Amino acid sequence: MKTLLYRTIYQPFVNKVLRALLFPFRNLLPQKALLPPSGVVSFTIKKGQTVKMATNQTSFVTWNIFWKGYDSYEYVPVFEKLGERISVFFDVGANTGLYSLLLHAVNPKAKSYAFEPSPGPFRYLNENISINGAERCIFSFSTALAGESGELTFVSAYSPKYAYLRDATLGGSGHLSGARSDTSAVSFKVKTQTLGDFVKEHRIEQIDLMKLDTEETEHLIVGAGIEVIRKFEPVIVCEVFSPEMANALFGLLNPLGYTPYIAGNTALRKADTVEFKGGDIPNCFFVPQSKLSWIEDLIVS
Q: Which domains does the chain have, with CATH numbers?
A: 36-300 (3.40.50.150)
State the pTM of this model.
0.94
The pLDDT confidence band at residue 272, using thresholds 50, 70 and 90, is confident
Q: Which pLDDT band holds residue 301 (cuts at 50, 70, 90)?
A: confident
Mean pLDDT over each residue of the chain, to the nearest integer: 92
pLDDT, average across residues 61-83: 97
Other C-beta atoms lying within 10 Å of the C-beta of residue 153: 11
Q: What is the pLDDT of residue 179?
A: 52
Say whether pLDDT at 161 is over 90.
Answer: no
Q: What is the dihedral of CA 155, 156, 157, 158, to 10 degrees?
A: -150
Residue 107: pLDDT band with limits 50, 70, 90: very high
- pLDDT for position 279: 65
| pLDDT score, position 110 | 98
Euclidean distance between CA atoms 106 and 109, whole angstroms: 9
On the question of pLDDT at 275 being above 90, the answer is no
Question: Got the DSSP string for 107-151?
Answer: -TT-EEEEE--SHHHHHHHHHHHHHTT-TTTEEEE-PEE-SSSEE
- Candidates 98, 37, 97; CA nearest to 67 is 37
The answer to whether the CB of 138 falls within 8 A of the CB of 112 is yes
Of 231, 301, 236, nearest in space to 271 by CA? 301
> Where does the pLDDT of residue 167 fall: very low under 50, low under 70, confident under 90, or very high at 90 and above?
confident
Q: Residue 207: which of 289, 109, 91 has the closest Cα?
A: 91
With a cut of 80, say whether residue 278 has pLDDT above it: no
In degrees, rounded to 5, the angle at the alpha carbon of residue 67 between the alpha carbons of residues 66 and 70 is: 55
Contact predicate 211/91, CB 8 Å: yes
Considering only residues 244 and 160, tell me which one the structure prediction assigns the higher pLDDT.
244
Between 224 and 170, name the one with better pLDDT. 224
Q: With a cut of 60, say whether residue 157 has pLDDT above it.
A: yes
- What is the pLDDT confidence band of residue 154, given thresholds at 50, 70 and 90? confident
Distance separating alpha carbons of residues 265 and 77, to the nearest angstrom: 6
- No. of H helices and E strands in the chain? 11, 15
Which pLDDT band holds residue 184 (cuts at 50, 70, 90)?
low
**Mean per-residue pLDDT, 179-205:** 85
